[in-house]
Structure 1
């Protein structure tokens, strides 16, 4: 029974590590291609003021002409029957150009309200001018993550000498824990 618990813990820890690592790219692009994301907010501001400047920061300099031409088309289309469609086309155009500049594929506009909570806290902190909410969020999450992983590795540590299988299970959990902790430290080091 103990061996089964240790093996389940190994699988859980490995899955958490894999999901965390692989999910980062998708989370970030989902923020940029969302209808409530920062690019669309700046596109709306540009269209409302009839000034492309707010959106140019999102694209590389070599793409500026393409964006300015699309901007003019979007402004003209805004006064026609399909204004809403034209605006969505323009949102998608700017996001595609932005993501292409980062070598990230565009998979379509995402609906509002699906932004990852971490990104929402980052944006709120920037808007407020204070990192306090951001620090609180990360300190709580990191503390929880370390405690959870520590409990798993500590339980395996206590049983590591009971059998070769439990010793091997400990080694796997221990190595995953070391990778997690050193990864946190490397991230912290910038």
Structure 2
């Protein structure tokens, strides 16, 4: 008798407007990730982060009841889909704490997924505890403070250290060749020199690259 009552209650919930909406949200969330796995470009941990700018904007939009707070993070032709997801979420999120958690997660996932699609990148779900590089942390600090000083400081420090280390490797390889002239030591010296030049070229390419997420490293190789 108890089991029959539970089944009846479950059917009633599923037939209700809220129940159908929750099931639809569950289905959409479950299907979204597999559909995106085949996209070619690599994922960006920063944009996929549960604490990233897109997810944060999505939560702010829900808190303020204003979808415009997150629309700037998707392409113009994606606004309709994201707005529809927002309206679905808002319509049911006050039903219960459990429904709110599920609905909010669905909307945040949708916002981040559409953002990644707009970049031509893959989406494999929100990432928790994403490790942010010092340079990216400095970039966020600069954006918050309205000054680029912190970014310059971090990049200058890292670039100086890396160039010093790589050039020291070149000098070490040259010294080894002078101390023991052979094809093998000459090859190591040539490799060190070419890798140093390649590193400089990659930096130049990155500096002059067009703005965009997940831009592949370009430039000519040796």
| 1:32 partnered with 2:51 | no
| 1:114 partnered with 2:131 | yes
The count of corresponding residues between Structure 1 and Structure 2 is: 164
Residue of 169, 173, 177 corresponding to 2:188: 169
Residue of 56, 73, 84 corresponding to 1:69: 84
Instruction: For residue 73 of structure 2, give the secondary structure of its aligned residue in structure 1.
Output: coil
| 1:181 partnered with 2:200 | yes
1:85 CA drift (Å): 1.6
Q: State the TM-score, normalized to the length of structure 1.
A: 0.80
User: Greater helix percent: which structure?
Assistant: 1
Structure 1 unaligned segments of length 5 or more: list them: 1-24
Kindly report the root-mean-square deviation, in angstroms, between the aligned alpha carbons of the 2 structures: 1.6
1:88 CA drift (Å): 1.1
1:112 CA drift (Å): 4.1
1:120 CA drift (Å): 1.8
1:84 alignment partner in structure 2: 101
1:150 alignment partner in structure 2: 167
Instruction: For residue 70 of structure 2, give the secondary structure of its aligned residue in structure 1.
Output: helix
Which protein has the larger Cα radius of gyration, Structure 1 or Structure 2? 2
Distance 1:167 1:183, change over 3 A: same
How far apart in 2 are the matches of 1:159 and 1:71? Answer: 65
1:185 CA drift (Å): 2.8
1:107 CA drift (Å): 0.9
Q: State the TM-score, normalized to the length of structure 2.
A: 0.69
Instruction: For residue 160 of structure 1, give the secondary structure of its aligned residue in structure 2.
Output: helix
